């Protein structure tokens, strides 16, 4: 049982918990900013179906949380129930203690150094596959197009080929899931327990259950076939995870492999797509940004190496500023207090759920003057600390795929910019809306091919 006796004394909205959840789902950025303006850097709000959520947006307090990670668990929060449905109970995201540490060590090699560089050509190929169908005068929903690119790239990197029947099956089913969770009504309904019922093919939860079982069966069959045939596809992530061993020589079970692949598909697909879409919005909303990027890209000459593209300083700054204004997650995953601890003058008892708030930190005026303005130069002129800027979470819970996500973001942006001229349709600025995993521009960002 979670004890929130002390945290309940913290200031926070007194509106009904169902209303707070609706605000959190439909107007998340405004809701967070209003709460901080009224209640300060640390506040509690109650949302129906969740334990009380203590949001923290003071950099010093967040540094202490990241540094004292042994005082916290993360996976057991009720707020993680929905993530657990999509990712699986063996996902590194939802593990604690020694299990979490072991799983991170097994996963890390696939997302660092030369292995990431090896994925570059696959990402560029996926981008060209999708954009080759574009025609002058065609109107696009950029979020939809980018999701197709990132899904193709992600599945190819995971499985090693985009020519297999299982690749095609996974692509189809993941698209079905994403079409559900990006539907505003369906996505919001999933946060209410009453709607998590299988009422047949017309219910969002029922469709997700069937899609989840199908994905699990496909991945299970792929793992089984590889184990039986001793296939080695060398550079794909599944092969590397199957070959990984811990310090005792232990390997991942089939269930662990399955849940980690589910985690990589969902956490590395939709979130990156949203970030790329926001970047495209800012690049075209502010034409001088696009001009500087094109100049930097042109200096590489024809057919630049993907690794060289990823090192471009202004491209890096544009991506960093995009993730500052609208990070892939508004908060980190929860920190559940294991031992009583004082942070920022507040005493938190065992079971209290703390949420370092990425969005609010990224909009602190003393760190980022005129924080609503898009200024990539912030990241050329300054070096921010890991508790001042952490779009992929922080501490021992930093996203394992962070470097890969940034690499993918840069390559997709660069490849489209070098080959296509697009123009915004409609009247910006655009409102941020959310689905299960991320926030993206309302309407998906409409553009026309010139």
Q: How many CB atoms lie within 10 A of CB 302?
A: 6
Q: Which residues contact 343 (CB under 8 A, 6 or more apart)?
A: 56, 61, 64, 65, 354
User: Contact 415/129 with Cβ under 8 angstroms?
Assistant: no
Range 334-337 contact pairs with CB under 8 angstroms and sequence separation of 24 or more: 334/53, 334/74, 334/77, 334/79, 334/80, 335/65, 335/69, 335/72, 335/73, 335/74, 336/2, 336/72, 336/73, 336/74, 336/76, 336/77, 337/71, 337/72
- Taking the model in full, what pTM does it have? 0.91
User: Contact 151/175 with Cβ under 8 angstroms?
Assistant: yes
Q: Which fold has domain 80-327+374-449?
A: Cytochrome p450 (1.10.630)
**Per-residue model confidence as pLDDT tens for the chain (450 residues):** 344 444 446 889 999 988 988 888 888 999 999 999 999 999 998 888 788 899 999 999 999 999 998 999 886 766 677 777 778 888 888 888 889 899 999 998 888 878 888 899 999 999 999 999 999 999 999 999 999 999 999 999 988 888 889 989 999 998 888 777 777 676 777 777 777 777 776 788 888 888 888 988 999 999 988 888 875 556 789 989 998 998 989 999 999 998 898 888 887 788 899 999 999 999 999 999 999 999 999 999 888 999 999 999 999 999 999 999 999 889 998 899 999 999 999 999 999 999 999 999 999 999 999 999 999 999 998 899 999 999 999 998 998 889 999 999 999 999 999 999 999 998 777 888 887 778 888 889 999 999
Residue 109's Cα: distance from chain center in Å?
Answer: 20
* Angle, alpha carbons 49-53-56 (nearest 5°): 160
Element spanning 402, H or E: helix 402-419
* Cis before 429 (ω within 30): yes
Q: How many CB atoms lie within 10 A of CB 134?
A: 15
Question: What is the C-alpha separation between 400 and 196, in angstroms, rounded?
Answer: 30
Cα-Cα-Cα-Cα torsion 32, 33, 34, 37, nearest 10 degrees, comes to 120
Q: What ranges do the domains of the chain cover? A: 80-327+374-449
């Amino acid at each position: 049982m979670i004890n929130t006796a002390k945290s309940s004394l913290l200031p926070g909205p007194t509106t009904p918990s169902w209303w707070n959840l609706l605000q959190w789902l439909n107007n998340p950025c405004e809701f967070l900013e209003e709460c901080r303006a009224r209640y300060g850097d640390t506040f509690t709000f109650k949302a129906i179906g969740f334990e009380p959520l203590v949001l923290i947006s003071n950099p010093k307090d967040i540094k202490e949380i990241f540094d004292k990670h042994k005082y916290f668990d993360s996976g057991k929060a009720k707020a993680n129930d929905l993530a657990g449905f999509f990712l699986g109970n063996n996902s590194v995201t939802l593990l604690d203690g020694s299990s979490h540490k072991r799983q991170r060590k097994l996963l890390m090699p696939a997302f660092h150094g030369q292995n990431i560089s090896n994925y570059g050509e696959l990402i560029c190929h996926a981008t060209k596959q999708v954009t080759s169908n574009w025609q002058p005068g065609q109107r696009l929903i950029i979020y939809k197009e980018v999701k197709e690119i990132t899904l193709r790239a992600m599945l190819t990197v995971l499985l090693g080929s985009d020519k297999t029947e299982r690749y095609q099956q996974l692509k189809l089913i993941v698209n079905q899931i994403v079409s559900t969770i990006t539907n505003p009504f369906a996505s919001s309904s999933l946060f209410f327990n009453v709607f998590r019922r299988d009422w047949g093919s017309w219910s969002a939860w029922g469709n997700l259950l069937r899609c989840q079982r199908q994905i699990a069966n496909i991945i299970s069959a792929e793992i089984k076939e590889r184990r039986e045939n001793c296939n080695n596809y060398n550079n794909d992530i599944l092969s590397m995870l199957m070959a990984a061993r811990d310090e005792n020589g232990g390997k991942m079970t089939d269930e662990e492999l399955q849940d980690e692949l589910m985690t990589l598909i969902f956490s590395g697909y939709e979130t990156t797509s949203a970030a790329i879409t926001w970047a495209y919005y800012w690049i075209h909303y502010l034409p001088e940004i696009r001009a500087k990027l094109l100049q930097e890209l042109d200096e590489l000459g024809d057919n630049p190496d993907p690794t060289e593209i990823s090192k471009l300083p202004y491209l890096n700054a544009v991506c960093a500023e995009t993730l500052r204004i609208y990070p892939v997650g508004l908060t980190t995953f929860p920190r559940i207090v294991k031992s009583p601890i004082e942070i920022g003058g507040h005493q938190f008892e065992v079971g209290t759920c703390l949420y370092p708030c990425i969005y609010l930190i990224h909009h602190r005026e003393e760190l980022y003057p005129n924080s609503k303005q898009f200024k990539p130069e912030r990241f050329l002129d300054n070096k921010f600390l890991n508790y001042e800027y952490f779009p992929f979470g922080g501490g021992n819970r930093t996203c394992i795929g962070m470097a890969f996500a940034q690499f993918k973001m840069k390559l997709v942006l660069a490849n489209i910019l070098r080959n296509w001229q697009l123009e915004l349709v409609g009247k910006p600025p655009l409102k941020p809306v959310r689905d299960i995993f991320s926030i993206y521009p309302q309407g998906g960002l409409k553009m026309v091919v010139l």
